[in-house]
Amino acid sequence: MSRGDAERVHTVPVIPLNRYWMNLRVAAEHVDVEFPDVIAAVARHEMHAVDDTEGRPGVWMVRMLEVEAWAEKRAQLVG
């Protein structure tokens, strides 16, 4: 790498995964399950969801790690 390349290296802020929120449709795509299954899981309180996330009022959001844990548990039950 030339000195010029080294000067162009950028740092990217890292968001801790337990603080990364996604909407329900993105959550379904992230864990490769049907959207209605994610909605049902939220309705059954299998995942915590909020609709007052800063910058996204009225949009139901869930944490990435919680979605992944739910999907893993669901996969074990389905077998």
For the chain, the structural domain boundaries read: 11-78
pLDDT band at residue 17 using 50, 70 and 90 as cut-offs: low
> Shortest CA distance to 60 belongs to which of 32, 16, 26, 33?
26
The pTM for the full model equals: 0.72
> Shortest CA distance to 70 belongs to which of 47, 36, 42?
47
- For residue range 21-69, list pLDDT tens digits in order: 899 999 999 999 999 999 999 999 999 999 886 777 788 999 999 999 9
